[in-house]
Structure 1
Amino acid sequence: MSPRRMARVRAVQFLYQWGLRREPPSRKSLEDFWALSPAGGSACRFAEELILGTIEHVASLDERIEHYLENWQIERLAAVDRSILRVALYELFYRVEIPPVVSVNEAVEVAKKLSSEESGRFVNGVLDRALHDVNRPLRAVSGAAGEEVA
């Protein structure tokens, strides 16, 4: 598994736990998490960026999820699927150095790994609707000198 996919998996795992408690993340909670779910240096750094950014924007991300769901409510989503969607939408709307199609593909793969094949299709459908609101190229890095990485 690539370091960035590992980071996404770890971010979803942390956010799943955080979603159950809704306590602000502390350095200690992150250290405790890393002690139980180790990751390499670059994966750990990227995961923490995703974790902290997602939590910072969770209210607007949840509003977006509600908007993109069809005939469904966010509270009825499986907690892991909700965490996957939060991370993916954070990447789509706040991390312009990541091509949107990479964020979608990675979210689908993480859903298949942590949830189910059906969740992969569900996550893909929700994120496909979100792509209509992304105001940048879907297959390229936006912004300054970024590099396209998964």
Structure 2
Amino acid sequence: MAARTRARKRALELLFEAEQRGVNVGELLEQRIEAPTTQHALPDYTVEIVRGVVSRWGQIEEVLATWSQGWSLERMAAVDRAALRVGTWEILWNDEVPDMVAVSEAVELVQRMSTDESPGFVNGLLARISEVKPTIV
């Protein structure tokens, strides 16, 4: 698994864990930086993603709610929400990652970690966000 793919997976896991535990994801991130729960420190790109998502949280939630057509955020699977937040941040605010790479990586994550319907849903929503990107940022 490539380094950035692993970093995205760790970011998704942190976002998912924070939501499931009902804790602030920014605070959870800082705890994990100070006291890692594994032998390895969090990858720098994981930290960048989570901090980016946290800093743009309101905008990301608005974009997802606007473009998800008939799916409220609460109705989505928690893993899908986390992958969509990572993908949306990469598409809209990380110019180092091509949009289609962000979409593909998010789809790959949900293929391994979510429902059978999730890859198509995540692909469609992130592709749409990529299409309308100029009107968002």
TM-score bucket (shorter structure): 0.7 to 0.9
1:8 aligned partner? 8
2:37 corresponds to which letter in structure 1? Answer: A
Structural RMSD (CA): 1.8
Supply the distance in 2 between the matched residues of 1:31 and 1:110 (Cα, whole angstroms): 26
Supply the distance in 1 between the matched residues of 2:34 and 2:13 (Cα, whole angstroms): 14
More helix by share: 2
Query: 3-state SS of the aligned residue for 2:119?
Result: helix
Query: 3-state SS of the aligned residue for 2:18?
Result: helix
Q: Deviations over 1:103-149 (max 9, x none)?
A: 001110011111133211110011111111223xxxxxxxxxxxxxx
Please say if 1:58 is aligned against 2:61: no
1:76 aligned partner? 75
Q: CA deviation at 1:31?
A: 4.2
Matches within 5 A, 1:1-150: 1-20=1-20, 21-23=22-24, 24-25=26-27, 27-32=30-35, 34-36=36-38, 44-135=43-134
Aligned-residue sequence identity (percent) comes to 31
4+ residue segments displaced more than 6 Å: none
Matched positions, count: 131
Query: 3-state SS of the aligned residue for 1:70?
Result: coil
Which sits farther off after the overlay, 111-120 or 7-16? 111-120
1:142 aligned partner? none
TM-score between the two structures when normalised by the length of structure 1 = 0.79
Supply the distance in 2 between the matched residues of 1:130 and 1:27 (Cα, whole angstroms): 29
Supply the distance in 2 between the matched residues of 1:82 and 1:27 (Cα, whole angstroms): 21
1:35 corresponds to which letter in structure 2? Answer: T
1:67 corresponds to which letter in structure 2? Answer: T
TM-score between the two structures when normalised by the length of structure 2 = 0.86
List runs of 5+ in structure 1 lacking aligned partners: 136-150
